[in-house]
Structure 1
């Protein structure tokens, strides 16, 4: 494991246009001329571009260079809106809420290797995208918590048929074709069943950590804290428990063997991820690329309008 002091000192790598007077064309030219951007991203884990005055209208050529195979947000569990060719709004949770750290689609059989965030409208206050080194996140957890998660986790989703809590299966898979959904789930090594009311219940057992394919670092790589009722807060969790049993919640999680995960474990995971994160503050036109295995990301609360778009590649 890398020295903890070195991990705590980590910051994303910033590339700023001379005098902040760059152009989208200049950024595209910079990327085309870079000999090994993939290697740079592996070394730095996150790269932020500032001062190139990108807009939504000029974003596509840059995304084409950074994300050669732009992916759809299929099987994603957070609310967002598709605004372009596999370009989406970032998670549309209320602005007063902080979104805890996570790696995109880490609960799936496959996940994107790289994400791009683009700031179309900067918030009045707050709204940073915190990013956390996954190796540091893992090292920050108490030994008994790391040991408890060693066997992996089991995720359960209940995706309604158009009316209910959370996202529908049609929204989640961007199709209304059951056969297409089932083909995806077979490829993703999920178990599923259709309930009488049209709800799709999906279960999948996944790892809790992952070895980075390039660096060999072991990183925290699961979304147990976001799927656990404890993350909702005591009051909200209690209200939901009165309405639905845990197995019928839109999403829930246990250890891989089906035993419950203690609330204090997932709260430690959530809190230490946020405590060890580095905030990336946004200015209109900024763009950030992250290695989705090396670092997790989240969102700080904010005021005023905020529009951050996200796209991903395998």
Structure 2
């Protein structure tokens, strides 16, 4: 079935519109793939989707689903499927970020499903990391090109058991090795973690520099968890400029029930506005594309 679209923002993001009362599973797969590769994220709206159709649709375009092992937020499992997770650990704002960019093994693609929108606020925000890089001042482009980021964390025993879904430190150690995380195990069985990575990455085609990281939420929510690799501070002036760029180029998704959002996690940063409605219910899947990427 041919896909009807409209642009969500300048040069990035497309909205797939249901003009013929069709089923999402009948949409042209190759057209969806081509749009996704071109625009970075797609919003599927008005298709009367349920959790079951969300699961079927995402299964048809994805592989290697992750269960969020190593992730820093609490996620509620939906319908007993460990790869379908809630995102409502708390109601505060989350700054723009790439998903799980504090470790090496990131999901290449993200899916979101709106089971129940907030009565107001709680919009998901998105921006193109290519455009973000282009909007940076020359001094910041040079700074982030020269200096990598260092994420650090301390987890007590209860915290790492929850985050890594195990009570076996050997399993944690193997996970850290696979993710290029420096692990220190302390006498009280707490752990310290360290991960070094760039904030600027080449695009998949290698033609464009892309700014994508977990820097902004780390600075916003957690003290003393991200620095430059040489341990120098990421100053408030730097963060202010990054937030100013983010505010200028961000696209908002005001959720409607049944919406599905498909996101390229190698290019598009996402976040959300704060909300107060406890009934807001958005689900997430982390995966890789089941097509050449």
TM-score of the two chains, using structure 2 as the length reference: 0.88
Alpha-carbon separation, structure 1, partners of 2:130 and 2:16: 24
CA displacement at 1:286 relative to structure 2: 0.6
Counterpart selection for 2:107 from 109, 112, 135: 112
CA contact (8 A) 1:225 1:267 kept: no
Q: Does 1:204 align with 2:195?
A: yes
Alpha-carbon separation, structure 2, partners of 1:44 and 1:17: 19
CA contact (8 A) 2:136 2:242 kept: yes
Q: Which runs of 5+ in 1 are unaligned?
A: 1-7, 163-167, 238-245, 247-251
SS in 2 for 1:64: helix
Larger fraction in strand: 2
SS in 1 for 2:261: strand
Alignment-derived partner of residue 89 in structure 2: 92
Alignment-derived partner of residue 155 in structure 1: 151
Alignment-derived partner of residue 187 in structure 1: 178
Alignment-derived partner of residue 308 in structure 1: 282
Count of equivalent residues: 276
Alignment-derived partner of residue 240 in structure 1: none
SS in 2 for 1:260: coil
CA displacement at 1:75 relative to structure 2: 1.5
CA contact (8 A) 1:90 1:310 kept: yes
Q: Does 1:134 align with 2:129?
A: yes
Q: Does 1:293 align with 2:266?
A: yes
CA displacement at 1:91 relative to structure 2: 4.6
CA contact (8 A) 2:65 2:285 kept: yes
Alpha-carbon separation, structure 2, partners of 1:202 and 1:38: 37
Alpha-carbon separation, structure 2, partners of 1:274 and 1:197: 43
Q: Which runs of 5+ in 2 are unaligned?
A: 1-8, 289-293
Alignment-derived partner of residue 143 in structure 1: 138
Alpha-carbon separation, structure 1, partners of 2:255 and 2:204: 30
CA displacement at 1:149 relative to structure 2: 2.1
Alpha-carbon separation, structure 2, partners of 1:152 and 1:11: 27
Alignment-derived partner of residue 19 in structure 2: 18
Q: How does 1:33-52 map to 2 (within 5 A)?
A: 33-35=28-30, 37-52=32-47
CA displacement at 1:271 relative to structure 2: 3.6
The CA RMSD measured in Å over matched residues stands at 1.9
Alpha-carbon separation, structure 1, partners of 2:86 and 2:244: 25
Alignment-derived partner of residue 5 in structure 2: none
1:174-224 CA deviation, whole Å, 9 max, x = no partner? 222211111111111221111222211011110111111136321112222
Alpha-carbon separation, structure 2, partners of 1:195 and 1:38: 47
Alpha-carbon separation, structure 1, partners of 2:64 and 2:177: 22
Counterpart selection for 1:68 from 58, 63, 66: 63
Alignment-derived partner of residue 28 in structure 1: 25
Alpha-carbon separation, structure 1, partners of 2:217 and 2:253: 21
Alpha-carbon separation, structure 2, partners of 1:104 and 1:132: 13
Q: Which runs of 4+ in 1 moved over 4 A?
A: none
Alpha-carbon separation, structure 1, partners of 2:62 and 2:247: 27
TM-score of the two chains, using structure 1 as the length reference: 0.82
CA displacement at 1:136 relative to structure 2: 1.4
